[in-house]
Structure 1
Amino acid sequence: MTHEVVNRVEELGPELAALAEQNEKLGKLSDRTVELLRTAGVIRLLQPKEFGGYSAHPRDFAEAVMAVARYDGAAGWVSGVVGVHPWELAQLDPRLAHEVWDDDPDTWIASPYMPNGIAEPVDGGYVLSGRWPFSSGSDHCSWDFLGALVGDGKGKPAGPISVLHVVLPRSDYEIIDGTWDVIGLAGTGSKDVVVDKAFIPAYRTIRQEVVQEGSAAEAVGLTDTLYKLPFSSMFPLGITAAVVGICEGALALHLDQQRDRVAVTGVQVRDDPYVLYAAGEAAAEIAASRVQLIDGISRLYDQVEAGKPITVEDRSNVRRNQVRCAWRAVAALDEIFVRSGGNAIRRGNPLQRFWRDAHVGLQHMIHVPGAAYHANALAQMGLELPEPMRVLI
């Protein structure tokens, strides 16, 4: 059964599509696009019901992100990134959830998680400094999740390496305008943020390994299956869903534009078996990506629901397939884009924006295939993964 949020996205879809070009020119989502996403409730899908969310199945979250991305890739990307943060926030000290959502359940949280800062331990918490690129949707967020290395008291990482996820209010970081000048996903507004000696109370932090293993929920008394899933499976879900949705949007637009197109040879494209063959094959590949992505997270959900442990191999299999979903879908998009005719490259044709957005989406670290495939082969052989490979498995 289709979730009500997905249905609302489909109702609002034409307006989302109409705003996509404006978002690209702005270099961030327009206020109206954000209003539509809030109206649909996409960002609240993984938010606890106690704080105005849905505590939805991750499958519903992925489908909602895909639905948004079919109309506007940038809006879909922000939905996938920002939308996973309520899931993690729920696993921190409940005091933080009250701070963020008591006044407004539609308060958004940005990120990036890369450990670009040093968090020096002090009484009651940490003092954080650093600079982080790629904070998607930051202009519309009131808080930010940042990755940081625990310091040694001298501005250097302490040994052994310990990574924290820390949460800061907007007053504690600066968004640097002019730092998001890109060829695709321009509307995501993924700007740099800078923190200069901000105090972070300990309750606004969590160790990465705790949330990565899916054990954080128990510590704060969460019993919902959703919050027991591993970070390394949930964090990539929304991002890859956005890429798959972008490819779905491009396919739909390609088919619409080819219906009445006449090639330079005078032949109607709908009578060209080669173009139609490519379109049919691309449709199958993109559909396979959707199914495999949703199947992976659903299998993990069912395991947790049944009280079965999730092994490193289980997580690695899902990560392998999630990476492959993105690359398969974008490869299929390439096959139809090159058969879309010269008008596909015009700035006024949304197809070229879908194509650029999809390729930029592949640049995210969670879509790098080498380490994910390597780690999966080791896991399937029953061998121990080297520590660096375990970071996003």
Structure 2
Amino acid sequence: MSIILDRPGATDADRELRADLVGRAAKLVPLLAGNAGQTEADRRVVEENITAIDEAGLLSIMRPTRFGGLQTDFRTKLEVSRELARGCGSTAWVTTLMNVCSWFTGLWPAQAQQDVWGADPSARVAGVLAPSGTAREVDGGFVVSGKWGWASGSAHAQWAVVGIPLLDADGGLRDQGMILIPMSDLTIEDTWFVAGMRGTASNTLVADEVFVPAHRYLSVPAAIQGRPATPFADEALYHSAFVPVTALVLAGPQLGLAQAALDLVLDKAPKRSISYTFYDTQVGAPTVQLAVAKAASLVDSAHLHAYRAAAEIDEAAARGEYPHYDARARMRMDTGVAVTYAREAIRILVSAHGASSFAESSPLQRIWRDSETASRHAVVNPEISTEVYGKSLLGIRGDVTALV
């Protein structure tokens, strides 16, 4: 099996655009870091961050070019998310989720996309895929009610993607779908009280007997099988593998959090002693040397796994091919490994830095809490991903989860 870290078909123009966008994100890191405490205290990303990210074009990377978007690849999306997370995990997470929800929107029929972006090409989309609502079929569409948590980005979005089941006359499940619904038709319950990623405002969306036209419904099983509803066959981005994309994007903020932790520990080591030892600074201590080497290697490995998955997703889409089950299982495994390695690197760095890592004034404690919280997202779940991949290697497929 060949291992690629960027899709072979990527052009110099593709890479130049990626470098430009990552550079734009990097320039925002000081702003995001300066606002990280306020974002956490407010339990939502400060508007200054969102405005700056939007003005830099970083909320358009997954929007179709038909609506003024950049329609970039997933390697680019990972790198942008990583850079933003170096400044603030919550801001990067919210940006990541709104961007992937723009990608989801690109899977819908043309009329649904027009509903979202026709009048306002800069409209942002948040969402929750879990089918926790109910839908009653009526003439021309559905009447939807329900609650959906946790809706990252909903504080800054104009539209939402939410999951619903479709039942047959006997109450059995005949399809599971997603619908597009304006935020103006929803209310938000303040439910996001958590240890990490506090600033994401991932609250609960509520719908009460809301009509949704039929063209704003998308079948999830069809999307998983590589049959999106978009009529634009030439837009490779929106023919990418559904579940690998849904999982992989969540690794981007983890990469940035781990890199931020490593940078901070390396920067502080020459100025910090080790209490109750003869080491004047951490730099001279073999224990710290070994710790930062191990952490740096884990951060590198996390990037390599995530970039391989992105390259395989992007290349398959560019070729007009939908990855087979075993390839998708490997992509999901790569995502789980990337997230696990990033999280473990942060744990090592927190210990190497010392007990002051947990001072409220230290960014390390927030990085650690954000990573520990976000890495538990159910779509990532490294243990389930490992089981899926191990079984696929042994020829056992489809008996763990539909999300492959």
Question: Could you say if the C-alpha distance between residues 235 and 30 of structure 1 is closer, same or farther in structure 2, counting changes exceeding 3 Å?
Answer: same
Give the distance between the partners of 1:204 and 1:158, measured in 2 at CA. Answer: 22
**SS where residue 44 of structure 1 aligns?**
coil
**SS where residue 276 of structure 1 aligns?**
helix
CA contact (8 A) 2:261 2:367 kept: yes
What code does the residue aligned with 1:83 have?
Answer: N
**SS where residue 136 of structure 2 aligns?**
strand
**1:206 counterpart = 2:223:** no
Runs of 5+ in structure 2 lacking a partner?
A: 1-14
**1:323 counterpart = 2:339:** no
Among candidates 325, 337, 361, match of residue 348 of structure 1: 361
Match of 1:376 in 2: 389
1:242-280 Cα distance to aligned partner (Å, 9 max, x none): 112111111111211222112223521111111111101
Among candidates 88, 108, 118, match of residue 102 of structure 1: 118
Question: Could you say if the C-alpha distance between residues 42 and 214 of structure 1 is closer, same or farther in structure 2, counting changes exceeding 3 Å?
Answer: farther
CA contact (8 A) 1:214 1:227 kept: no
Match of 2:398 in 1: 385
1:175-220 Cα distance to aligned partner (Å, 9 max, x none): 112x111110001000011111111101111000122223215x51
Question: Could you say if the C-alpha distance between residues 370 and 244 of structure 1 is closer, same or farther in structure 2, counting changes exceeding 3 Å?
Answer: same
CA contact (8 A) 1:16 1:36 kept: no
**SS where residue 338 of structure 1 aligns?**
helix
When the two structures are superposed, what TM-score results if normalisation uses the length of structure 2?
0.92
Match of 2:31 in 1: 15
Give the distance between the partners of 1:356 and 1:32, measured in 2 at CA. Answer: 23
CA contact (8 A) 1:110 1:138 kept: yes
Following TM superposition, by how much is the alpha carbon of 1:301 offset from its aligned partner in structure 2, in angstroms?
2.1
**SS where residue 160 of structure 2 aligns?**
strand
CA contact (8 A) 1:77 1:238 kept: no
Give the distance between the partners of 1:304 and 1:137, measured in 2 at CA. Answer: 27
CA contact (8 A) 2:248 2:332 kept: no
**SS where residue 72 of structure 2 aligns?**
coil
Give the distance between the partners of 2:121 and 2:265, measured in 1 at CA. Answer: 38
Match of 1:225 in 2: 236
When the two structures are superposed, what TM-score results if normalisation uses the length of structure 1?
0.94
Give the distance between the partners of 1:16 and 1:130, measured in 2 at CA. Answer: 34
Match of 2:196 in 1: 184
Deviates more, 1:30-39 or 1:98-107: 98-107
CA contact (8 A) 1:110 1:141 kept: yes
Among candidates 61, 67, 70, match of residue 77 of structure 2: 61
Percent of paired sites with the same residue: 26
**1:260 counterpart = 2:271:** yes
Match of 1:338 in 2: 351
CA contact (8 A) 1:125 1:199 kept: yes
Following TM superposition, by how much is the alpha carbon of 1:307 offset from its aligned partner in structure 2, in angstroms?
4.1
Match of 2:19 in 1: 3
Following TM superposition, by how much is the alpha carbon of 1:309 offset from its aligned partner in structure 2, in angstroms?
4.0
1:327-380 Cα distance to aligned partner (Å, 9 max, x none): 111011101101112221111111110000000011210221232222222222
Give the distance between the partners of 1:43 and 1:189, measured in 2 at CA. Answer: 18
CA contact (8 A) 2:133 2:145 kept: yes
**1:238 counterpart = 2:249:** yes
Following TM superposition, by how much is the alpha carbon of 1:25 offset from its aligned partner in structure 2, in angstroms?
0.3
Give the distance between the partners of 2:185 and 2:359, measured in 1 at CA. Answer: 42
1:135-162 Cα distance to aligned partner (Å, 9 max, x none): 0011111111101111346xxx932342
CA contact (8 A) 1:326 1:362 kept: yes
**1:33 counterpart = 2:54:** no
Give the distance between the partners of 2:167 and 2:184, measured in 1 at CA. Answer: 23
RMSD across aligned C-alpha pairs, in angstroms?
A: 1.6
Match of 2:178 in 1: 165
Deviates more, 1:347-356 or 1:222-231: 222-231
CA contact (8 A) 2:133 2:146 kept: yes
Match of 2:12 in 1: none
Give the distance between the partners of 2:266 and 2:51, measured in 1 at CA. Answer: 30
Match of 1:194 in 2: 206
Give the distance between the partners of 2:356 and 2:313, measured in 1 at CA. Answer: 43
The number of residues matched between the two structures is 386
**SS where residue 42 of structure 1 aligns?**
coil
Give the distance between the partners of 1:371 and 1:257, measured in 2 at CA. Answer: 37
Give the distance between the partners of 2:306 and 2:171, measured in 1 at CA. Answer: 37
Among candidates 265, 271, 281, match of residue 294 of structure 2: 281
Runs of 5+ in structure 1 lacking a partner?
A: none
Following TM superposition, by how much is the alpha carbon of 1:27 offset from its aligned partner in structure 2, in angstroms?
0.3
**SS where residue 204 of structure 2 aligns?**
strand
What code does the residue aligned with 1:244 have?
Answer: L
